[in-house]
Every structure is written in structure tokens, then in C-alpha cells.
């Protein structure tokens, strides 16, 4: 946990993992004084609410095989305890199966209270005074407006990734984002950024079958996967390696940004920063954009979970792709094709 936006990222991913369709976030003083996130997800029963604050407690790994195919956004069971150790945190939650909810209060990692609570359902987590007990880290926080803009950008991009869900972000003075569910990604872009931006974006949609499985090398999890695909008589069952899918938007060359901050890449629903994919995108714009400027990109990559290892970086913003060059070239070619198609259409019109 480095800053308010990283707290929001963890809590937002937990809400989405919990099946929420409505996520509301409140922020005071750029998130330093207060962060609150409320969702309509599955909620937790009392025992799980307490367990959630134990390190490495996660409800998301059901069997060993799951490690190989992590479909949910979180799985390390570290976020809640880390956040609770550097703030004053209140969790309110109710599972649908329960008639009464639970309230847990933790301050600086110490359990202060755990009680029954009348609660409508879902989960609400309030984080006050982030880093109150870690002055060294508090010192590194930026101006309130900067922290708020990081949060706004994060929530906006999760809203773009999930057009079917309701997102709201409020600061003490205004409604930063109010995004009720819409039909699809372009409706969401229109809703959030307006017509002018949508007009300058090109939709991208591409699919490519994988030729093989990018099994982890050489032993360990790979051996497991091999075993499961081999029958008793030693005959290999044909296991389809699946496919790569890309969709989203890339900007026309007339949009020129001075940095990479408008390039957003989601891998299987998770916002990530990946050098390889960024490189592939910039390769696609070579000779289309001058080398010192950058496009606006909103790219959603979907790949079989066995093809991507998300357990590389604690904040899960990095991934390791099993077939790096295949994914790189797929992204480069899909983006390039979208740009070319739009350019040739423009040439016909003018
Ligand atoms: P992880 O997401 O890696 O499992 P976390 O520390 O983020 O670990 O969360 C611990 C556990 O708490 C989760 O596995 C989940 O069972 C539960 N949890 C956290 N947030 C929510 C939520 N918003 N709704 C329901 N359950 C939640
Ligand atoms: Mg989590």
C-alpha cells in the first residue's frame, strides 16, 4: 500500500471479485482523511469478516490447481491486513444467507471491536487517517488534488472496463464520476469522456487462436497440467490452447499526448502496467505518431488464465505472459490493423 489510490485499487478489485454490480466510493482530503467503498457484492459472514484480516487469508483459492488458473483479481490475501495495519478501518458487511450483518473495527492492525449490525447487504469498508501511524509514508503523499486525480483515473478506468456496472466516486465537494450501467464500451466512453473523445477513437476487436499452451517451464505447475491432460493409457487428450482476444479503443493520430499516462491496458479485467504490451502498442504507432508523443489507448486483452502469471508483483500491476512474443505481435498487429483501416476509410472520404 503506497497511496490512497492503491488502497482503492485493492478494495475495488475485492468488490468486483465479490460479484458487485454497484460500487460507490467516497473520498475526503484526497483519500488521506477518508476513503469509503460500498458494494452490493456477496458480503461476508461473521467468521469470514474476521478471517479476512489474517495474513494470507483468501477465499479465492479453492484447490491447488487454482494457482495455475487465477481468474479472480485478488488471491494473495494480503490487501486487507496491510490496509488495516496503517489506518483506522471499519468493515460493515452482510452475506445474503445471514439475517444480521457484522461490523469489525481495526486500528493500526489491532482489533478494537466486532459486533452484530443491521446492514442492508454487501460490504462497506471505511478507511480513515491512512498512514496515521507511519509518518515516513505519510510524508510521501502528494497534494490532495494529486491523490484525488490518481483515484479518479483509477475508478474511471475500472468503470470503462465494466460498462455493465454502476460506479460512483464522490469527493467532499463534488461528484467526480457517476456512471450508471450502459450497453457497451463505446457507450461508456461516451458517458465518461463525451462525444469529442469518442469521435477521435478507433474501436479495436481482434481474435487469434493460440497454437500451443504456454506451459510454465520446466517443472512444478507444468507437470501438473501435463498429468491432467494425459489419460491412463498415456494417450494425450487434445486440449485446446484457447485464444487471444483484444478489444477496446486506440486514438487517431491527431491525438498526441506528452506522456504514456493515457495508455490503459487490462489483462483479464485487471489494470496492469506492462512494458512488453506498451512496447507493442507504440510499435503499432511507429511512423504514424512522432516518436516523442503518445496515443490514448484503452486495451482489454483476454487470454486463457494458464497463459498469464499475475503472481509476480505484490500490487499485481505486473504480469508475466507465458508466450510473450505471441502476445506482443498480436497486440502490435491488431492495433496497427485498426489504425490502417481507419486511415484508408478517411482517404476515401476526403
Ligand atoms: P484477496 O483479495 O487476495 O483474497 P484481500 O486481503 O484483498 O485478499 O481480501 C481477503 C478476503 O476478504 C477475500 O478473499 C474475500 O473473501 C474477503 N473480502 C474482501 N473484500 C470483500 C468484499 N468487498 N466483499 C466480499 N468479500 C470480501
Ligand atoms: Mg484483494
| DSSP-assigned letter for residue 4 | H
Give the model's pLDDT for residue 175: 97
Which ligand is in closest contact with the Cα of 310? 1
pLDDT over threshold 70, residue 335: yes
Residue with CA at minimum distance from ligand 1 atom 12: 52
pLDDT over threshold 90, residue 68: no
Give the model's pLDDT for residue 270: 83
Give the model's pLDDT for residue 228: 46
Least confident residue range of 26-30, 52-56, 208-212, 321-325: 52-56
pLDDT (tens digit, 9 = 90+) per residue, 265-285?
999 888 888 899 999 999 999
Residue with CA at minimum distance from ligand 1 atom 16: 59
pLDDT (tens digit, 9 = 90+) per residue, 215-237?
654 444 444 444 444 444 444 44
pLDDT (tens digit, 9 = 90+) per residue, 121-153?
999 999 999 999 999 888 889 999 999 999 999
Mean pLDDT of 48-76: 67
**Alpha carbons 1 and 9: distance in angstroms, whole number:** 10
pLDDT over threshold 80, residue 344: no
Ligand 1 environment, Cβ below 6 A: 10, 14-15, 18, 39, 41-44, 48, 52, 57-60, 74-80, 123
For residue 71, the CA-to-ligand 2 centroid distance in Å is 12
Can you tell me which atom of ligand 1 is nearest the CA of 10? 7
**Alpha carbons 153 and 186: distance in angstroms, whole number:** 18
Residue that wins the pLDDT comparison between 215 and 48: 48
pLDDT over threshold 70, residue 304: yes
- Looking at every residue in the chain, the average pLDDT score rounds to 87
Give the model's pLDDT for residue 1: 80
Least confident residue range of 18-22, 157-161, 224-228, 289-293: 224-228
- 343 falls in which pLDDT band (50, 70, 90)? confident
pLDDT over threshold 80, residue 286: yes
* Cα distances (Å, whole numbers) of residue 261 to 200, 204, 321: 17, 20, 22
Predicted TM-score of the model (pTM): 0.82
Residue with CA at minimum distance from ligand 1 atom 19: 14
**Which of 13, 18, 52 best tests ligand 1's pocket when mutated (most atoms within 8 Å of CB)?**
52
For residue 327, the CA-to-ligand 1 centroid distance in Å is 30
Residue with CA at minimum distance from ligand 1 atom 7: 79
Give the model's pLDDT for residue 231: 44
For residue 258, the CA-to-ligand 1 centroid distance in Å is 37
Residue that wins the pLDDT comparison between 54 and 132: 132
Mean pLDDT of 246-268: 92
CB 35 within 8 A of CB 180: no
For residue 52, the CA-to-ligand 1 centroid distance in Å is 6
Give the model's pLDDT for residue 329: 97
Give the model's pLDDT for residue 52: 93
Give the model's pLDDT for residue 166: 98
Burial of 178 (0-12, 13-18, 19+ CB in 10 A): middle
For residue 73, the CA-to-ligand 2 centroid distance in Å is 7
β-bridge partners, 345: none
- Straight-line distance from the first to the last Cα atom of the chain, in angstroms, rounded to the nearest whole number: 51
Which ligand is in closest contact with the Cα of 79? 1
For residue 72, the CA-to-ligand 2 centroid distance in Å is 9
CB 304 within 8 A of CB 241: yes
Give the model's pLDDT for residue 66: 56
Amino acid at each position: 500500500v503506497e497511496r490512497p489510490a492503491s488502497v482503492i485499487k485493492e478494495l475495488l478489485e475485492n468488490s468486483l471479485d465479490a460479484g458487485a454490480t454497484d460500487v460507490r466510493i467516497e473520498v475526503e482530503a484526497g483519500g488521506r482523511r477518508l476513503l469509503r467503498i460500498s458494494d452490493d457484492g456477496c458480503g461476508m459472514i461473521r467468521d469470514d469478516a474476521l478471517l479476512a484480516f489474517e495474513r494470507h487469508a483468501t477465499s479465492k483459492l479453492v484447490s491447488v490447481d487454482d494457482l495455475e488458473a487465477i481468474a479472480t483479481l485478488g488471491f494473495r490475501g494480503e490487501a486487507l491486513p496491510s490496509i488495516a495495519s496503517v489506518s483506522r478501518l471499519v468493515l460493515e458487511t452482510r452475506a445474503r444467507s445471514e439475517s444480521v450483518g457484522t461490523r469489525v473495527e481495526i486500528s493500526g492492525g489491532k482489533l478494537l471491536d466486532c459486533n452484530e449490525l443491521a446492514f442492508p447487504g454487501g460490504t462497506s469498508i471505511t478507511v480513515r487517517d491512512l498512514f496515521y501511524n507511519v509518518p515516513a509514508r505519510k510524508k510521501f503523499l502528494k497534494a490532495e488534488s494529486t491523490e484525488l486525480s490518481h483515484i479518479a483515473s483509477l475508478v474511471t478506468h475500472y468503470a470503462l472496463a465494466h460498462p455493465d456496472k454502476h460506479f460512483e466516486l464522490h469527493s467532499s465537494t463534488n461528484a467526480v464520476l457517476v456512471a450508471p450501467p450502459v450497453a457497451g464500451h463505446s457507450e461508456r466512453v461516451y458517458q465518461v469522456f463525451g462525444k469529442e473523445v469518442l469521435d477521435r477513437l478507433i474501436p479495436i476487436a481482434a481474435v487469434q487462436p493460440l497454437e500451443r499452451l504456454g506451459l510454465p517451464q520446466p517443472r512444478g505447475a507444468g507437470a501438473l497440467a501435463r498429468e491432467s491432460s494425459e489419460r491412463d493409457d498415456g494417450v494425450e487428450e487434445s486440449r485446446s490452447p484457447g485464444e487471444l482476444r483484444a478489444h477496446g479503443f486506440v486514438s487517431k493520430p491527431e491525438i498526441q499526448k506528452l506522456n504514456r499516462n493515457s495508455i490503459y491496458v487490462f489483462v483479464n479485467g485487471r489494470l496492469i502496467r506492462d512494458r512488453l504490451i506498451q512496447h507493442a502498442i507504440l510499435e503499432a504507432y511507429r511512423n504514424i505518431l512522432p516518436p516523442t508523443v503518445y496515443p490514448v489507448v484503452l486495451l482489454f486483452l483476454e487470454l486463457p488464465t494458464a497463459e498469464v502469471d499475475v503472481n509476480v508483483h505484490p500490487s499485481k500491476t505486473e504480469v508475466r505472459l507465458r508466450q510473450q512474443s505471441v502476445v506482443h505481435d498480436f497486440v502490435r498487429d491488431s492495433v496497427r490493423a485498426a489504425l490502417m483501416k481507419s486511415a484508408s476509410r478517411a482517404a476515401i472520404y476526403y
